Structure 1
Amino acid sequence: MIRSQRFAPLAALVLLAGCAAIGGPKTEVSIYSPQTGIQADPAWPAVDWQLTVGTPDTHALLDSQRIAVRPSPDRLQTYKGARWADTAPEMVQLALVEAFEDSGKIQAVSRWGGGRGDFGLYTDLRAFETVYEGGSPKVVVEIQARLVKHRGNGGLVAARRFRTEVTPGGADIEPVVAAFGDALSAIGADIVGWSLVEGQKSLREPAEESAEK
């Protein structure tokens, strides 16, 4: 299922009272929430196990509601007057949970803390930013993922790094936010397909080994 809205400012303007309280000018901040959605690949296996998705680990700047932009390779800044509705890790976690739900290929999926699934998906958010190269922006999302089996003998099933780059329709914040939604959708689909395949493979291998003995 693909949600029709590309991006949504949750509140057109949020007046930060902290500045006004000390007599300074009010700061106008727009709050954004990128919209995501995936189309299930018919080749993905339908599974009868449950998955728990953890909150991604990341560095301090990304673990916030600030929207990161890298004007040069060694400079990481944030967009003035714009914020995410949640922190970047929380948005990525929600996008992944919704991607698994939208796939229709899994019995149940939940955020970490909402129950313990047969498998756990743990991630590190390596990049969630706009990068400028040659004066043009591109949105970069990079995630290191680990699929861990909770039941049986448990342990690491598979690990892989995923990276998606999307060129926005312009340098303004609105097309940049829309590009973040596209990037989250693309990387979410990649992680869903990989997790379903690797999880099923890990369940088949012990059965195949037993049959050979």
Structure 2
Amino acid sequence: MSLLRAFVAGVFRSARRGQWLWLPLLGLLLAVLPGCARVLDPGPAPTHLLLSPAMPGPGAGGPIHLQLAVSLPETSRMLDTDRIVLVLGGATGREVRQYAEAKWTSPAPRLVQRLLVEAFERNGRLDGAAEESAGIYPDYRLMTDLRRFNTRMGEGAAPLIEVELALRLVDLKTGRIVAFTAIGRDCPAAGSALTQVAAAFETAMGDVLARATAWSLEAMAAARS
């Protein structure tokens, strides 16, 4: 808009000096300005949803004197976004859309990575757990594939929430994968409202985090025994 004001001011300065060449351009500008305003209007900002699933409590058993680096999950292009992904057509559906009015606070892989690190911190049995980019000197790396992190709409009125992680635990001294598993949870939402969708995501993600944390700790303890 500052450029527009400068242009109009220049037109009037030219007019005062007797230079009327700009007047046809000014008329054209005034004619198209309302349409330009509509094009430049971005509309209402999308709602940002904060995902706050229940975290595991302090873990049973003694401390495990190891450090763990959690890698950024690999995923498909469909899920590598901060948009909430919606798959249409029930269990065999292939049409993918996104909620236009809502976003996660971070892209899904980054969001899941942070939640995994927090889950290990809340459990408290490890000497340390951090994102791989944090620069720690870990004993193990937890590599993950984010296979599902979406809603699915079938014939029912409410969507089904799908969350699935494939986990690979790598011993960094040998470079070997010492354990592998896949953990998933489907959770029906109570309704189609964003708050209901977010609540179902939190239920599904909370269950996945608890199981992923327990499995990783057991696998590390077994590998070092």
TM-score range, shorter chain: 0.7 to 0.9
Over residues 135-181 of structure 1, what are the superposed CA-to-partner deviations in whole Å (9 max), with x where a residue is unaligned?
13111101111000112x34111011111111222111111011111
Describe the superposition over 1:48-82 as per-residue Cα deviations: whole angstroms up to 9, x where unpaired.
10000001011112111110011211111111211
2:118 aligned to which of 98, 117, 141: 98
The aligned residue for residue 216 of structure 2 is: 195
For 2:198, what is the secondary structure of its paired residue? helix
Deviates more, 1:185-194 or 1:163-172: 163-172
Classify 1:158/1:24 alpha carbon distance in 2 versus 1 (closer, same or farther; 3 Å). Answer: same
Task: Please show how residues 1-213 of structure 1 align to structure 2 within 5 Å.
Answer: 22-40=39-57, 43=60, 46-72=63-89, 73-114=93-134, 115-135=136-156, 136-151=158-173, 153-204=174-225
Cα deviation digits, residues 75-121 of structure 1 (max 9, x gap):
11111211111000011001100110111221100001112310000
Does the 8 Å contact 2:183/2:212 carry over to 1? yes
One-letter amino acid of the counterpart of residue 160, structure 1: T
Mapped to 2, the partners of 1:25 and 1:129 lie a distance apart of: 26
1:4: which partner in 2? none
The amino acid of 2:51's aligned partner reads P
Quick one: structure 1 residues 59 and 20, their matched pair in 2 at CA, closer, same or farther if it must change by over 3 Å? farther
| Shift in CA distance, 196/150, structure 1 to aligned 2, threshold 3 Å | same
Cα distance change of structure 1 residues 92 and 25 upon mapping to structure 2, 3 Å threshold: closer
Matched position secondary structure for 2:182? strand
TM-score normalized by the length of structure 2: 0.76
Mapped partners of 2:125, 2:38: distance in 1? 51
**RMSD, matched Cα:** 1.9
Contact persistence 1:143–1:161 (CA under 8 A): yes
Alpha-carbon displacement from aligned partner over 1:23-63 (angstroms, at most 9, x marks no partner): 34523310111102323475555311000000101111211
> Which portions of structure 1, spanning 4 or more consecutive aligned residues, are displaced by more than 6 angstroms?
none
Alignment length (residue pairs): 185
Aligned 8 A contact 1:138 1:167 in 2: yes
AA matched with 1:171:
S
Structure having the higher strand fraction is: 1
The unaligned stretches of length 5 or more in structure 2 are 1-35
CA contact (8 A) 1:119 1:148 kept: yes
Judging changes above 3 Å, is the alpha-carbon distance between structure 1 residues 25 and 86 closer, same or farther for their aligned structure 2 residues? closer
Gaps of 5+ in 1: 1-18, 205-213
The DSSP-based 3-state class of the residue aligned with 1:131 is strand
In 2, the alpha carbon distance for the partners of 1:93 and 1:37 equals: 15
Change (3 A) 1:203 1:30: same
SS at match of 2:195: helix
State the partner residue of 1:9. Answer: none
1:20–1:26 contact (8 Å) kept in structure 2: no
TM-score (norm 1): 0.80
The amino acid across from 1:49 in the alignment is: L
